[in-house]
């Protein structure tokens, strides 16, 4: 079997992790696993973890580490035969250490985006809750205002993108992320991208992954998508 490829994308809320992950998934055939989407699925399904997580997310707080790792690690175990890109997990050093003991990462992409840009983007972010599709009223608006392009269902704003929760989230992110970034830098797998525009970052991410993803894996994925 060809070697599997494991990547993590780090960055504050609104940094474009979801947007870049979707591009990676469609260009390189990696499975995109978003902790935020997985939490929202669990909230919608009213699982034990979902009910617990909801109380934290509504306050703009992080979900406790033990809840996150108990949720995410079994999900990754289901994916042992796939190459994946993990988005939104790990977010803390404890989560990064738990992930470390479960698998070995090939690449960590870290998005470094100015605070003002983040605030502006998140104010305009709308999502389709059933699919997790993300829109931005300026950057990638839906074809019809307020409505999902594919299902025609209404778009909503995350509770945690509303101004009250937003500032707390961005402030907290920085403190918590620093040791995670330091850990991956020390391991020599960190790749940092700084810009205000996803479209300017994407070509660099794309060429990094083209260089890192094993050729036999890329060939196998191309074969399945044609
Ligand atoms: N104006 C602008 N908006 C962007 C850009 N990249 C992403 N967005 C939007 O910013 C918001 C946050 O992006 P998202 O990928 O959800 O970030 P995440 O929170 O890190 O997963 C979404 O509404 C995106 O559509 C960009 O380069 N410019
Ligand atoms: N790894 C994680 N650890 C703790 N909380 C998390 C994690 N991932 C997601 N969450 C919670 O879910 C919320 C939504 O996550 P996400 O969709 O990734 O939002 P964003 O991309 O805007 O940060 C976060 O604000 C946080 O409360």
Q: Is 171 among the domain residues? A: yes
Q: Is 220 among the domain residues? A: no
CA of 56, closest atom in ligand 2: 27
What does the block give as tokens for 65?
Answer: 């580490």
Rounded Cα–Cα distance for residues 98 and 86 (Å) = 14
**The domain containing residue 128 runs over which residues?**
6-215
Q: What is the CA(117)–ligand 1 centre distance, in A? A: 10
For position 1, what pLDDT does the model report?
Answer: 39
Q: Is 225 among the domain residues? A: no
Q: Which pLDDT band holds residue 57 (cuts at 50, 70, 90)?
A: confident
CA of 91, closest atom in ligand 2: 1
Q: Is 226 among the domain residues? A: no
For position 70, what pLDDT does the model report?
Answer: 93
ipTM over 0.90: yes
**pLDDT at residue 20 tops 80:** yes
Q: What average pLDDT does range 178-201 have in this prediction?
A: 97
Model pTM above 0.90: no
Nearest CA to ligand 2 atom 18: 36
State how beta strands 31-34 and 190-194 pair: unpaired
Task: Check pocket membership of 88 for ligand 2, CB cut-off 6 A.
Answer: yes
Q: Is 127 among the domain residues? A: yes
Q: What average pLDDT does range 70-95 have in this prediction?
A: 95
For position 211, what pLDDT does the model report?
Answer: 95
For position 215, what pLDDT does the model report?
Answer: 67
Rounded Cα–Cα distance for residues 121 and 118 (Å) = 5
How many independent structural domains does the chain possess?
1
Average model confidence (pLDDT) for the chain?
89
Q: Is the distance from CB of 192 to CB of 184 less than 8 angstroms?
A: no
Q: Is 224 among the domain residues? A: no
For position 124, what pLDDT does the model report?
Answer: 87
Which of 14-18, 61-65, 144-148, 216-220 is predicted least confidently?
216-220
CATH number at residue 81: 3.40.50.300
State how beta strands 84-87 and 31-34 pair: parallel
């Amino acid at each position: 079997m060809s070697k599997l490829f494991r990547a993590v994308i780090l960055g504050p809320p609104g940094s474009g992790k979801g947007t870049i992950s979707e591009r990676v998934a469609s260009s390189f055939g990696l499975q995109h696993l978003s902790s935020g989407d997985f939490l929202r699925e669990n909230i919608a399904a009213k699982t034990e973890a979902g009910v617990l997580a909801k109380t934290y997310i509504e306050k703009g707080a992080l979900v406790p580490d033990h809840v996150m790792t108990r949720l995410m690690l079994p999900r990754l175990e289901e994916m042992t035969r796939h190459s994946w890109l993990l988005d939104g997990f790990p977010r803390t050093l404890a989560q990064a250490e738990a992930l470390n003991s479960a698998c070995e990462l090939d690449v960590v992409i870290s998005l470094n985006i100015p605070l003002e840009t983040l605030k502006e983007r998140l104010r305009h972010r709308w999502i389709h809750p059933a699919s997790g599709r993300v829109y931005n009223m300026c950057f990638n608006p839906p074809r019809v205002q307020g409505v999902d392009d594919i299902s025609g269902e209404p778009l909503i704003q995350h509770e945690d993108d509303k101004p009250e929760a937003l500032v707390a989230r961005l402030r907290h992110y920085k403190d918590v992320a620093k040791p995670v970034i330091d850990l991956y830098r020390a391991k020599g797998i960190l790749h940092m991208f700084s810009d205000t525009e996803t479209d300017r970052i994407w070509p660099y991410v794309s060429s990094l992954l083209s260089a890192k993803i094993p050729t036999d894996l890329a060939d196998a994925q191309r074969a399945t998508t044609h």
